[in-house]
Amino acid sequence: MCAAITARTAPLLLSKAFPQRCQNSLIASTSSLMKKSPPFVRKRGSSSVQTVSAKTPIMSPIRRKIVEQSTTSGQHAAQEFDYLLVLDFEATCSLYKIHPYQEIIEFPVAKVDTKTWSICSYFHHYVRPVANPTLSSFCTHLTGIIQEMVDDQPTIEEVLCSFDEWMKKEQILDSRFAFVTCGDWDLGVMLPSELQNKHLDMPSYFNRWINIKKSYCEHSGTWAKGLKDLLQIYGLQHAGRLHSGIDDVKTICSLTSAMAKEGYVFR
């Protein structure tokens, strides 16, 4: 057992402390998920936020002005963070059977350098589920992960230890960094609930993250329902298979670059 991941018997305690520079940011936390419309929506002087979908993409007046201004420079906006760690878990699931809790079966993270907007490193592991060791056919169909891909893999405890070693090797812990997800499920629900059920502590660096859907809402004044909608809006292609964790990560990386090129600063 590594020092970063320790077994425990007490209930999971999640930090409520925010760094000063993040208090007014879009960074969510496990202790304070944004359940209502974010504050910036009300500050725009609009009674509601438009919703866009992949079928009917629209460009709000706010984003249209941003795009017109950004096309002249063609440069990415300078960022507050040195690195964005783009993360997208896949987990056990079933169409009909209700599991006591879900378990992560794919753990992919990409390290994006915000100076070059290139992916400079990956961490990618498949994870062996313990409580629900047999994957359902629905899970395999959804994620593309078959039983043989997880049977001989390390458990979530072992993968988290490896991830902590990767963070240190990449010198991320000594830099300004932020996790980026497409939604609050990965770090707001999935990882905390699994670790709580397995009586494991969650490393504190997972307590805060940026939800790119909320970032896009601040950037454009419109709300995109999901990854496919964002791809449609930016005219981008998915990097592979939808619900493949590593392919979703690569795709979200492309979106962060596209938004930064329009002048957006992740915070």
Query: For residue 99, is it within any domain?
Result: yes
**Could you report the per-residue pLDDT of 46-96, keeping only the tens digit for each?**
334 455 555 555 555 555 655 655 554 568 999 999 999 999 999 999 988
The CATH number that applies at residue 135 is: 3.30.420.10
Residue 75: predicted pLDDT: 86
Dmax (CA) for the chain in angstroms is 57
Helix (H) / strand (E) element for 217: namely helix 212-220
Query: For residue 58, is it within any domain?
Result: no
Of 99, 158, 243, 262, which one is the catalytic site residue?
243
Of 76, 90, 103, 106, which one is the catalytic site residue?
90
Query: For residue 6, is it within any domain?
Result: no
Residue 41: predicted pLDDT: 31
Containing structural domain, residue 188: 83-262
Count the alpha carbons within 13 Å of 90 in the hemisphere toward its beta carbon.
Answer: 30
Report the percent of the chain where pLDDT is more than 70: 74
Higher pLDDT, 180 or 29: 180
**Stated pTM of the model:** 0.79
Query: For residue 64, is it within any domain?
Result: no
How high does pLDDT run on average in the chain? 82
Query: For residue 204, is it within any domain?
Result: yes
Residue 235: predicted pLDDT: 92
Query: For residue 174, is it within any domain?
Result: yes
Residue 96: predicted pLDDT: 82
**Could you report the per-residue pLDDT of 192-212, keeping only the tens digit for each?**
999 999 999 999 999 999 999
Question: Which stretch of 11-25, 110-124, 176-190, 213-227 has the lowest confidence by average pLDDT?
Answer: 11-25
As a 3-state breakdown, the chain gives helix, strand, coil percent values, each rounded to 5, of 35, 20, 50
Query: For residue 202, is it within any domain?
Result: yes
Higher pLDDT, 30 or 255: 255
Please count the structural domains in the chain: 1
Question: Which stretch of 16-30, 118-132, 153-167, 228-242 has the lowest confidence by average pLDDT?
Answer: 16-30
Query: For residue 4, is it within any domain?
Result: no
Cβ neighbours for 79, distance < 8 A, ≥ 6 positions apart: 114, 260, 265, 266
Is 90 annotated in the active site? yes
What is d(CA 194, CA 242) in angstroms, rounded to the nearest whole number? 23
**Could you report the per-residue pLDDT of 84-124, keeping only the tens digit for each?**
999 999 999 998 877 778 999 999 999 999 999 999 999 99
Is 68 annotated in the active site? no
